[in-house]
């Protein structure tokens, strides 16, 4: 396992992070299986676990808490808030009112007295940066969080939050967690340069592109991944973006074969090759999935392989732009762009 410094924090983290979104009902992973995955990940040298309150409405955090009991100090523990936690309208977002409650709920489910990294799951257009940063700074001073970061923020919102922190002498976001893969390279044009400018650690999620780069999705083969069952539209080849992705996958498979790599090694090696990326988040549902992804822990792609990838998917290009999660709200909701 390789390790890097998380932004400018001085904290050493593994280049592969164990994501726990699939723990519980989302991934149909039992507590026994989740604990086995955590055991194997820690044994392999992974020292970061990433979860969120919204994963299974707290189920993932509870399972992570049980799996790490007695060895909490051996790892960097990260969770998130912002997404709805129930029907009540104020049990979501990034207001002080909610973040204080949400963090206490997460700590209780995890069975710990602090988390190392607390992340705002998405930018909240209804809440000012100052409101959120004041709350996070107070929680940090109270010892409940060590650091805080953002997740899937547009580049201009990352800049705005950094400015607000400096202007108001508050703690600042020290990490960003964006979606990044060979098939979704849009953040290379803006988010990654901004993260490098401000010295942010970057934890990239969906490096296997929802299973497209797992090796299980190939031309002429029935798609039977867990993601395809949850989101069949993402694998419907009648949709032009999916047809384009399949064509890219077939060409990438040839690159991987020539280099003597699995598709997973190619995909994870690509993500961790970017100088702006600290770690890639993997989300195995089984120990078998984990072991196939751990094969990429030491993968360093040579220049000719990276060049070949660039010829298939150009730098800064998203092959499925409709699946971006950092699109400004006004482009999605007509009410926000009309009087």
Q: What share of the chain is helix, strand, coil (3-state, %, to 5)?
A: 45, 15, 40
What angle is formed at CA 121 by the lines to CA 120 and CA 124, rounded to 5 degrees?
75
Give the dihedral of Cα atoms 7, 10, 15, 17; nearest 10 deg.
Answer: -90
Q: Compute the distance between CA of residue 199 and CA of residue 186 in angstroms, rounded to an integer.
A: 19
Q: Compute the distance between CA of residue 24 and CA of residue 265 in angstroms, rounded to an integer.
A: 26
Q: Where are the beta strands (DSSP E) in 88-137?
A: 115-120
55 given a catalytic annotation: yes
The rounded radius of gyration (Å) of the Cα atoms in the chain is: 19
Give the dihedral of Cα atoms 210, 215, 219, 220; nearest 10 deg.
Answer: -110
Residue 299: C-alpha distances to residues 187, 288, 294, 320 (Å): 22, 19, 10, 26
Which residue among 3, 55, 118, 180 is the active-site one? Answer: 55
Q: Which residues are catalytic?
A: 55
């Amino acid at each position: 396992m390789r390790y890097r410094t998380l932004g400018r924090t001085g904290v050493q983290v593994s280049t592969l992070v164990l994501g726990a979104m699939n723990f519980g009902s989302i991934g149909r992973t039992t507590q026994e299986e989740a604990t086995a995955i955590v055991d194997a990940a820690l044994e392999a040298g992974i020292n970061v676990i990433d979860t969120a309150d919204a994963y299974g409405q707290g189920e993932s955090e509870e399972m992570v808490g049980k799996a790490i009991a007695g060895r909490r100090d051996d790892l960097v523990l990260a969770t998130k808030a912002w997404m709805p936690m129930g029907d009540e309208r104020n049990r979501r977002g990034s207001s002080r009112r909610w973040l204080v409650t949400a963090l206490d709920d997460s700590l209780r489910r995890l069975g710990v007295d602090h988390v190392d990294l607390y992340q705002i799951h998405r930018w909240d257009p209804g809440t000012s940066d100052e409101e959120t940063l004041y709350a996070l700074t107070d929680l940090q001073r109270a010892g409940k969080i060590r650091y805080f970061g953002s997740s899937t923020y547009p580049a201009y919102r990352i800049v705005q939050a950094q400015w607000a922190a400096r202007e108001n002498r508050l703690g600042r976001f020290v990490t960003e967690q964006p979606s990044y893969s060979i098939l979704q390279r849009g953040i290379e044009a803006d988010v990654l340069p901004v993260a490098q400018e401000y010295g942010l650690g970057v934890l990239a999620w969906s490096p296997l592109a929802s299973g497209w780069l797992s090796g299980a999705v190939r031309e002429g083969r029935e798609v039977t991944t867990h993601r395809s069952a949850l989101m069949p539209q993402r694998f419907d080849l009648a949709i032009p973006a999916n047809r384009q992705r399949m064509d890219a996958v077939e060409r990438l498979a040839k690159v991987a074969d020539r280099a003597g790599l699995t598709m997973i090694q190619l995909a994870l090696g690509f993500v961790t090759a970017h100088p702006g990326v600290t770690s890639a988040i993997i989300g195995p549902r089984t120990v078998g999935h984990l072991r196939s992804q751990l094969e990429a822990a030491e993968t360093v792609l040579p220049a000719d392989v990276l060049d070949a990838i660039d010829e298939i998917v150009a730098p800064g290009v998203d092959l499925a732009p409709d699946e971006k999660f950092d699109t400004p709200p006004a482009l999605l909701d007509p009410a926000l762009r009309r009087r």
